[in-house]
Amino acid sequence: HSLLSKPRHTRRIGVANQKGGVGKTTSAVNLAAALADGGLHVLVIDMDPQGNASTALGIDHAPGLPSVYDVLEGRKELSDIKQPCPDFSGLDVVPSSIDLSGAELEIAGLPNRTTLLRSAMQRDDAINHDSYDYVIVDCPPSLGLLVINALCAVDEVLIPIQAEYYALEGLGQLLNSIDLIQRHYNPSLVVSTMLVTMFDRRTLLSKEVYQEIKKHYPALVLDTTIPRSVKISEAPSFQKTVIAYDPRGTGAVAYKEAALEISQRTEDVLGSIDMHREVN
């Protein structure tokens, strides 16, 4: 498929939703792979102690291996632990590991506890010189310090929303938390994108959920929805994204379309999103 256009500056996107199992990691890794497959230079930072993004991108994350944990604790720089994804040139990964599950408590007393990731990114030459077109940060399912660190280090939030009956439950709380982070810590933060995942074309419920989200957040929701697909759920067990595992399947095609749609939202369009009007 065609090459995607490069953004003028690095776009930093956090993929967040405090609900588990809504497609955060799947969306983070597959959008990153689709962007890299389209010729762009992408960095994925795995901020979830589960390390599912690291797995899907083919990076070992056994306990004790160097990971983003060492960066948050000040022992290593991002450049020390960055690794290339074996399936796509131009896609680098900062893996997490289960060691990260202790980090929230360990950093809780530090005065700079919310900005550890942001500072590490500011010290990274490749990020500083706009060598990456996209930096995508996969968040754990919580609203704790790891997520706050992630959302202090990005400008945009992408919220995956599972097309199910309780889709909108918890969304208000998530948006309020993002709003608090924006006001207290990171004035440039906006919710730029909502992506409906596990969409089932055959059910009325999926369509109703999409319409409902579209009604509340018209400027944020992508036209592209991600279908429920067995290949998408199988791919991680082969340490692959669906973009590498089943490149012509419906799942890969949908993530490529979503990546294209995201890349076409220019800085002007993003600048015009008034988060407060859209969100409240």
Type of residue at 106: E
Q: Name which of residues 219 to 248 contact ligand ADP (CB under 6 A).
A: 226, 228-229, 232-233, 236
- Contact between 10 and ligand ADP by CB under 6 A: the answer reads no
- Total residue count of the chain as it appears in this document: 280
Alpha-carbon distance 53 to 139, whole Å? 10
Q: How far is the CB of 25 from ligand ADP (least distance, A)?
A: 3
Gyration radius from the chain CA atoms: 17
**Which of ligand ADP, Mg ion, none sits in contact with 229, Cβ below 5 to 8 A by type?**
ligand ADP
Q: Name which of residues 93 to 112 contact Mg ion (CB under 5 A).
A: none
- By beta-carbon proximity to Mg ion, the closer residue of 11 and 24 is 24
- From residue 41 to residue 70, what is the string marking binding to ligand ADP with x (rule CB under 6 A)? -----------x------------------
**Which of Mg ion, ligand ADP, none sits in contact with 170, Cβ below 5 to 8 A by type?**
none
Three-state secondary structure of 7-41: CCCCEEEEECCCCCCCCHHHHHHHHHHHHHHCCCC
What lies within 8 Å, CB to CB, of 131 at 6+ separation is: 41, 125
- Contact between 41 and Mg ion by CB under 5 A: the answer reads no
The partner residues of 160 in beta bridges, in order of sequence, read: 195
Q: Are 25 and 232 in contact (CB under 8 A)?
A: no
Sites of contact with ligand ADP (CB under 6 A): 20-26, 52, 141, 197-198, 226, 228-229, 232-233, 236
